[in-house]
Amino acid sequence: MKKEVTINVNGTSYTEEVEPRLLLVHFIRENLELTGTHIGCDTSHCGACTILLNGDSVKSCTIFTVQADGAEIATVEGMMQDGKYHPLQEAFKEYHGLQCGFCTPGMLMRAIDFLKHNPDPTEEEIRWGISSNLCRCTGYNNIVIAIEKAAEKMREVEVETVA
């Protein structure tokens, strides 16, 4: 039996009927066709599906869509504001914080939440802050540098950390 849910995603409200067992990651990708949120492991180990749910980073493969009824969700597609990349996106590009790019959307969403709580982190704090998200290509060094540089810029220009 389907259940009606209303979820605000990147500032747009969506009301749909969904199966109670539909995972939020599948709702985002298949129903809303927002494919920036990736499906990696389906076991919550990799973090490729990380989004912001009511401002907090969560792995969307661990949440049923019906649990998000009434929620505010931000995905990587919502990071760009007024045609401008978010400082995290700029830094990942400039400091090559990506390689294949598969983990990048989840890593960006995790970094937004992390910097919201710790706007002036040390390298070690960044490494712990993103430890819930796996990257199989980069070795993390450039990801850490990119987050450091983005944090500096965000402090300078007082950029919103929430997408």
Pairing of strands 3-9, 50-53: unpaired
pLDDT-derived band at 43, boundaries 50, 70, 90: confident
Nearest to 25 by CA among 5, 14, 39, 10: 39
Q: Mean of the per-residue pLDDT values for the chain?
A: 95
Region of poorest pLDDT, from 3-7, 42-46, 76-80, 158-162? 158-162
- pLDDT tens for each residue of 88-132: 999 999 999 998 999 999 999 999 999 999 999 999 999 999 999
* Over residues 13-25, mean pLDDT: 98
pLDDT at residue 139, rounded to an integer: 81
Task: Work out the end-to-end distance of the chain between its first and last CA atoms, rounded to an integer number of angstroms.
Answer: 33
- Spell out the domain ranges in the chain: 3-78, 87-157
Judged against a pLDDT cut of 80, whether residue 86 lies above it is answered with yes
pLDDT at residue 162, rounded to an integer: 53
pLDDT at residue 160, rounded to an integer: 57
Judged against a pLDDT cut of 90, whether residue 84 lies above it is answered with yes
Q: Which CATH number fits domain 87-157: 1.20.120.80, 1.10.150.120, 2.60.120.10, 1.10.1060.10?
A: 1.10.150.120
* Over residues 139-146, mean pLDDT: 94
Query: Each residue of 140-159: b (16+ CB within 10 Å) or e?
Result: bebbbbbbbbbbeebeeeeb
Per DSSP, what are the bridge partners of residue 73? 9, 53
Higher pLDDT pick, 159 / 55: 55
Q: Which fold has domain 3-78?
A: Ubiquitin-like (UB roll) (3.10.20)
Same fold, 3-78 and 87-157: no
Judged against a pLDDT cut of 90, whether residue 10 lies above it is answered with yes
pLDDT-derived band at 159, boundaries 50, 70, 90: low
